[in-house]
Amino acid sequence: MSLYGKSLNALTLQEWRDIFREQPQRLRDIYRQLLASFEESDPAWISLATMQQIDAQIDALECAGGAPADYPLFGVPFAVKDNIDVAGFVTTAACPAFARPAQQDATVVAKLRAAGAIVVGKTNLDQFATGLSGTRSPWGAVPNTFNDRYVSGGSSSGSASLVARGLIPFALGTDTAGSGRVPAGFNNIVGLKPTKGWLSACGVVPACRLNDTVSVFALTVADAETVVRIAAGYDARDDYSRRHPATAPARFAQTPTLGVPDVLEFYGDPLSEAAFRAALAQMQALGVELVTIDFSPFRELAQQLYQGAWVAERTVAVGELLRDNPQEMDPVVCAIISGGQQYSASEAWQAEYTRAALARRIHETLAQVDALLVPTSPTIHTREEIAREPVRYNAHFGYYTNFTNLADLCALALPGPWREDGLPAGITLVARAWHDAALSHFGQRWQQAVGLSLGATSRQMVEPVYVTLSPEYVRLAVVGAHLRGMPLNYQLTERDAVFAEQTTTDAGYRLYALANSTPAKPGLARSDSGAPIAVELWDIPLARFGELVAEIPAPLGIGTLTLADGRRVKGFICEAWALDDATDITEWGGWKAWLARHQQA
């Protein structure tokens, strides 16, 4: 699949943007070719866009005005799991009897289209997002991308398959019990499951409203994070939408600490176990510290999702169809969802109390590490095995995923070392709510280090494209007592600020050692005859920034500094009146250099 000598297979977001910035007039031609390359018989699709639907989306972009560069996703194609509304398409949730035309876009789809992205179709799923196998759909089972004897994982099977084959750069899924992670693990791609409520669920057919999360599949972590940040945000129309509190760190510590379950379960699969052991070794080679944690509360909470009253949430979601036309549902899905009718209100409340108690234990455990590291799935099964034991073997896939939303955690599924039989065996990082940015930053580091192929394509990992710092953080330049190893550095670290890089200002500053300051501090001032001054850049959560500023004593304050590469960041500055009796130390180029030479003198 190519246009004018340029392949359209397995392109990243940036590569798609580059195509349309170079030749925006070719937008319709490219989409004609792209649609022609899709096969209606492909079980990953439930419905494909017509050229008329594509033209309507392009017309809307043109009517909105502006240049391609004004749209962060201009012309980028994407697909949407068919339990998420897209105006002009029928939403089926993989159940023909439920099918209904969508009158408007789900909030996340509307945001992505407003950013310039174009929907090319709706994707197959386990019916009503109930399952982790990708086989419970009247549109057919979606096979594993690498060996069609095996399952693709579900419920977001179609979305994962299309991304893995490089047909589209990203796709939306949903994740209640692991549906945004298991298919990623089985197809060697990235699955980003954000913190609950960060992405609106307005326009999403509910499976379990309290636990549903829109998720993103992509070939790279950078692309997945870009999509999430565009689609995220508070939505008053979603009763469970939440505002980002801007309190979590932007990255893990310089030497990350990851928790590994004290007892690892692989259901007797030595190939999955060997792959995960290889991942642990690679983590240690990256400088990660691995510590053993008590996995029992995670395991117990995971069991609650389908073996207790929580399944009644799925019963409520299906509603009239289950009552009036259960024969129209997939038999396995119907049996699971109808099981919720056996629970009483008292049992539902007790289930919530159990959830809260286990979640508290989980949070206390995760507070001791940067994140939890687990296999995305303990094993994989063939489609024939799933047909024989649809509930038992499907449950295997959720062993390391089912607890995540019940405990209000975020997660990132990553490609990992391969099994010896040629199948992928992904890994997943799980962290406390709102630590999404830290997961993504480390995920980019991991993906670049392991250098695996992208999905099922022959493309290798591209150069890292780190996402611009998000609005939830302030990048702060520190020049003196807040530097690493200095006496006031704790004021940053106790507020979850993390070191980003060491650099210098531009040549327009002078540095002074202030008189009568305890602990000793420098003062930085703008000057027409200055020099580059060494600084450290730290990313501090926005909600903690004001606390830091309140502690800064006169004559110091916070202003805007210009760095050597032209970037402008917040940073420590000094009022001019305090410089009269200060010592000019500009020639030493930085506070630490001056201290070292001063102490040696």
Name the residues annotated as catalytic. Answer: 81, 155, 179
Show Cβ contacts of residue 111 under 8 Å, excluding neighbours closer than 6 positions: 230, 231, 233
Q: Residue 42 gets which letter from DSSP? A: -
Q: How far is CA 408 from the centre of its chain?
A: 14
Give the DSSP letter of residue 505.
Answer: B
Residue closest to 153 by CA, chosen among 190, 192, 186, 188: 186
* Alpha carbons 47 and 50: distance in angstroms, whole number: 9
Instruction: Please say whether the dihedral angle defined by the alpha carbons of residues 166, 170, 171 and 177, taken in this order, is positive or negative.
Output: positive
Q: What single-letter amino acid sits at 596? A: A
How far is 311 from 132, CA to CA, in rounded Å?
15
Question: Under a CB-based contact definition with an 8 Å cutoff, are residues 169 and 57 in contact?
Answer: no
Query: What is the spatial distance between Cα 529 and Cα 542, in angstroms, rounded to a whole number?
Result: 33
- Please spell the DSSP secondary structure of 196-223, one letter per residue: TTTS--TTB--SSTTT-EEEEEESSHHH
At residue 401, what are phi and psi to the nearest 5 degrees? -125, -30
223 CB contacts (<8 Å, ≥6 apart)? 12, 13, 169, 170, 190
- Among 210, 241, 214, smallest CA distance to 352 is for 210
Cis amide prior to 470 (ω within 30 degrees): no
Burial classification of residue 275, based on how many CB atoms lie within 10 Å of its CB (0-12 exposed, 13-18 middle, 19 or more buried)? buried
29: number of Cβ within 10 Å: 12
Secondary structure class of 364 (helix, strand, coil): helix
Q: Would the CA dihedral through 10, 14, 19, 20 be positive or negative?
A: positive
- Phi then psi dihedrals of residue 13, to 5 deg: -55, -45
Residues in contact with 564: Cβ distance below 8 Å, sequence separation at least 6, in sequence order: 503, 504, 505, 506, 507, 532
Q: Tell me: cis bond preceding 471? Omega within 30 of 0 counts.
A: no
The residues with which 387 forms a beta bridge, in sequence order, are none
Cα–Cα distance for residue pair 490/478, rounded to 1 Å: 13
